[in-house]
Structure 1
Amino acid sequence: MTMNIRVLTPDRVICSTTADEVVLPGLTGKIGVLDGHASLITALDTGLLRIKLDNKWTPIILCGGLAEIDQNRVTVLVNDVEELSSLDLSEVTKELEKAALAVENAETSKAKLDTAIELKKATARVEALNYLS
């Protein structure tokens, strides 16, 4: 049996499909969702959402939000998503290294928060490209 999944931003529907398995980027770690999962509402971190259908993974980079799981329906409400179409693995690996260095060199609390979010995005980009290749 499959689940229904919808990924929504405030201004558009990113995807509406079925899935055999979903992995969400929770605030305390990854949340795996299979058919028959218990009802749940959870906050999401910036990171990689993975949707598995017919043994193929589809990655989507999320920029924070919420997820509701109820009766084999997964609804993901996010602030924004990043498109994966124009990413190159060597380029995103360099961006990941720069983001990690920026976190180390951040001096103020705000700078640390901002650079940590960029590091999460850069990590998600690398993970997404690894799933696509």
Structure 2
Amino acid sequence: MAINIRILTPDRIICSTTADEVILPGTTGQIGVLDGHATLITALDTGLLRIKLDQKWTPMILCGGFAEVDRNQVTVLVNDVEELVALDLAEVTKELEQATIAIETAETSKGRLNASIELKKAAARVQAVGYLR
């Protein structure tokens, strides 16, 4: 039996599909969801969401939000999504290095917070490269 997944932002439906497996970027680590998963509601961190269907993974970068799992239905509510089509490993690695430098050189707490979010996005892009090949 398949899992139904919907990914929603405040202004649009990003995705509504079925999946064999879903991996969510939880605030305390990754959360894997398979058929028959227990009901749960969880906060999501900025990071890589992966949807597996027919032995193929589809990655997306989520920018914080919440997820609800109930009876093989996964609903993901997020602030924003970065849909990934093609990434260059050298380019995303350079972005990761720049984000690391930005967090180290940030002078205010707001600057560090913004740099931290960009660092998480950059790390997720590096992870996503392997799923897009």
| Band of TM-score, shorter chain | over 0.9
Alignment partner of 1:37: what SS?
coil
CA RMSD of aligned residues (A): 1.1
Q: How far apart are 1:83 and its partner, in Å?
A: 2.8
Using the alignment, how far apart are the partners of 1:31 and 1:86 within structure 2? Answer: 25
Q: Which runs of 5+ in 2 are unaligned?
A: none
Q: How far apart are 1:115 and its partner, in Å?
A: 0.5
Matching residue's letter, 2:53: L
Moved more, 38-47 or 79-88: 79-88
* Alignment match, 2:109: 109
Moved more, 103-112 or 90-99: 103-112
Matching residue's letter, 1:39: T
TM-score by length of 2: 0.95
Q: How far apart are 1:108 and its partner, in Å?
A: 1.9
Percent of paired sites with the same residue: 76
* Alignment match, 2:90: 90
Aligned residues: 133
TM-score by length of 1: 0.95
Using the alignment, how far apart are the partners of 1:119 and 1:4 within structure 2? Answer: 30
Alignment partner of 2:22: what SS?
strand
Alignment partner of 2:42: what SS?
strand
* Alignment match, 2:23: 23
Residues 24-63 of structure 1 aligned to structure 2 (within 5 Å): 24-63=24-63
Alignment partner of 2:84: what SS?
coil
Query: Is the Cα contact below 8 Å between 2:86 and 2:132 reproduced in 1?
Result: no
Using the alignment, how far apart are the partners of 2:131 and 2:9 within structure 1? Answer: 23
Using the alignment, how far apart are the partners of 1:98 and 1:70 within structure 2? Answer: 39
Q: Which runs of 4+ in 1 moved over 6 A?
A: none
Query: Is the Cα contact below 8 Å between 2:64 and 2:80 reproduced in 1?
Result: yes
Alignment partner of 1:74: what SS?
strand
Using the alignment, how far apart are the partners of 1:83 and 1:57 within structure 2? Answer: 13
* Alignment match, 1:72: 72
Q: How far apart are 1:37 and its partner, in Å?
A: 0.6
Alignment partner of 2:18: what SS?
strand
